[in-house]
Structure 1
Amino acid sequence: MRWEKMGLIYGPDGSLPWAHSHAMLPTPIQLSPDVVRVFVTCCDSLGVGRPGYVDISSKDPLKVLRVSQTPLLDVGKPGTFDENGVAACSVVRMDDGRMLMYYAGFELGTRIRYRLLTGLAISTDGGESFVRHSQTPILERTADELFFRCGPYCIQDAGLFRLWYIAGSAWAEVDGKDMPIYDVRYAESEDGLHWPSKGEVQMEITDPDEHGFGRPHVSKKADGTYQMFYSIRRRSLGAYRLGYATSVDGRHWQRMDKQLNLDVSPTGFDSEAIMYAVPFEIGGETYLFYNGNNFGSQGFAVARLETA
């Protein structure tokens, strides 16, 4: 693969109190023939995240048409699993018009830095607002996945809801700072609401330089095979890089990271890190939405797949 970086699409200008910085975890859907809606998570001045959206043109992905003025979902009540942030990770459009948003909820810890668990919110107005399915996570902590059941990416496939997510039960010191240890796991559900207490490990930490993966994005290709874009956190680099894998069934993956060929730039918003990539087809072209330095503090960007 060869990619042409096209630059930043959108980053908050600080005029909205809930969107002081960041446009993390870009998650696009085709809203209409002319409009692609990209769900993102922005941060307030305290670094607390809430989801919003950026509508862009199907003819020109760099052209912003509309930006949500209010968050799609606020943080949870004090003491709940998402009291300190909500990060949208995937959106599933249902046949009845509803949209299911799977998100990571942030809860600060005392003996550990934080916990991340998966919640679900539902929209009945075309993605203009979302309401919690419950005040408790749909991926609650378990003995096998104690601190992290997050980074969810869900698709409907063969009559099932299929979910790839991040899970772990450990921390490690990296350059003097406690950092989470987690791998990629997989689970299935008949209704998208109820999930098993433990997922199948899809991609585990085997390289001593790696200590975690970021939100996986899985899509089914025209030939029936699957591809996964994910982020890799390396000890030697101190920040995320992108990874790529393929599978014949969505459950057994072959890592092909070097074939992705998309890395940091010499300077600019993605000179130190690159992460949270999502491919999306617009007008016969394949684009990749992604974040750069500091988890997308300056916004989200796009690259175009070169075909010649």
Structure 2
Amino acid sequence: MPVRAGHGWWASHAQSPTVLALSPRLWRIYFAGRNSDNRSSILAVDVDPQDGMRVLDEHLDPMLGWGPPGTFDCSGLAPSCALMVGGCVHLYYSGVYPRNDVSFQIAIGLAISDDGLSFKKAFAGPVRGIGPTDPYFVSTPFVGTTEYGYRMWYVSGTGWAQTNGVWEPEYVLRSCDSSDAIVWEAHSIAVPSDDLGDGISQTRPWITHEAGGMRLWYSRRGRDFRASGNEAYRLFSRRMDAREGTVGEAEPVIFSNPPAAGEFDSSMQAYCCVMQRPSGDVMFYNGNGFGEAGIGWATRDLT
């Protein structure tokens, strides 16, 4: 799905694709579009997954307003997970607000809708912000059901490091639980991983279910990721155990038709959202420039 620059206030990017399956032939893709001041809001398109992701409808007016000055989402919004809870759509999003010392601060917000289009924030503040185990920022949550209620996998900032004279964030994946998908426990636990070396960060978790357990999908990058070399954003997955965390090795996502020079994802593949259907998985993701060119999708035939 390419960016339609110049459409209203939407000037660039289609970042962080977040899919909600409304029916077998109707998937709604929420995403973050930016205006000319580089501030993002949440938009959506409806597609038919059984007809080559043919666009059925577009919802290109912001679905949620920025917060007033001083709030956690006063400078931008980006979707990360949408699910049905009690007949309503719960949309979890990253809210951005500026800082003077580093580029930004991020916290996790929740908006609720009866129809998946008209949203109202659950609270004026975030449902998860900085705290004892999350001292810097939190972002890009995935929320799923468990036998105990709900679990959130999310990104937790571990600090900022200077790379080529620029302060860049570093982060890991953590998780926490809730009984109602609204109020979350203050405590959180680290998602075990053996691919976190010096300067390595992981972001945008997504969970799918498969025979024998779950699978965690995520993006991994090094400290010098803007150089578009070996430390650039790449996609990985790991088998997971619901109670004990990750148990499998990190598996890189391999494309049968690898990104080539000049293509929209030649130097970056990140922020994936993986949907499951009887014929196989569909992965939506962003390419170069954090979704500057739009959203791509790839399939995995399970047969």
Give the TM-score of the pair, scaled to structure 1. Answer: 0.89
Q: Distance in 1 between matches of 2:250 and 2:163?
A: 23
Tell me whether 50-59 or 262-271 shows the greater mean CA deviation.
Answer: 262-271
Q: Which residue of 2 aligns with 1:295?
A: 290
1:210-243 deviation per Cα after TM superposition (whole angstroms, max 9, x unaligned): 1x2221001222x250101111121344331111
Rate the CA distance shift 1:53–1:142 in 2: closer, same or farther, 3 A: same
Which residue number corresponds to residue 284 of structure 1? 279
State the match for 2:229 in structure 1: none
Q: Does 1:232 align with 2:205?
A: no
Give the conservation status (yes or no) of the 8 Å contact 1:202–1:251. no
Return the alpha-carbon distance in structure 2 between the equivalents of residues 129 and 112 of structure 1. 33
Q: In the alignment, is residue 53 of structure 1 matched against residue 48 of structure 2?
A: no
8 Å contact kept, 1:264–1:274: no
Closer, same or farther in 2 for the Cα pair 1:70/1:219, shift >3 Å?
A: same
How far is 1:140 from its partner? 2.1
Alignment of 1:142-153 (within 5 A): 142-153=131-142
Q: Offset at 1:136?
A: 0.7
* Residue type of the alignment partner of 2:91: M
Aligned CA RMSD, in angstroms, stands at 1.9
Q: Which residue of 1 aligns with 2:60?
A: 69
Which of structures 1 and 2 has the larger relative contact order (alpha carbons within 8 angstroms, sep 6+)?
1
Determine whether 1:246 maps to 2:203: no
Q: CA deviation at 1:276?
A: 0.8
* Runs of 4+ that moved beyond 4 A: none
Give 2:197's aligned residue. 207
Q: Secondary structure at the match of 1:180?
A: strand
Structure 2 counterpart SS, 1:121: strand
Contact 2:92 2:110 in 1 (8 A): yes
- Give the distance between the partners of 1:24 and 1:199, measured in 2 at CA: 27
* 1:14 matches 2:2: no
- Match for residue 29 of structure 2? 38
Mean CA deviation greater in 137-146 or 278-287 = 278-287
Comparing 180-189 with 134-143, greater Cα deviation is found at 134-143
Alignment of 1:133-172 (within 5 A): 133-172=122-161
The letter of the residue matching 1:11 is V
Alignment equivalent of 1:115, drawn from 97, 105, 118:
105
Q: Which runs of 5 or more residues in structure 1 are unaligned?
A: 1-8
Structure 2 unaligned regions, length at least 5: 227-231
Q: How far, CA to CA, are the matches of 1:245 and 1:276 in structure 2?
A: 15
Listed one character per residue, the Cα deviations across residues 248-284 of structure 1 (whole Å, up to 9, x for unaligned) are 2264214544452146433211111110112213452
**Contact kept? 1:154, 1:164, Cα under 8 Å:** yes
| % identical equivalent positions | 26
TM-superposed deviation, 1:245: 1.0
SS of residue matched to 2:65: coil
Q: CA deviation at 1:43?
A: 0.8
Q: Name the counterpart of 1:260.
A: 253
Aligned residues: 295
Measured after TM superposition, the shift of residue 146 of structure 1 is: 1.7
CA contact (8 A) 1:58 1:283 kept: no
1:91 aligns with 2:95: no
Displacement of 1:31 after TM fit?
A: 1.4
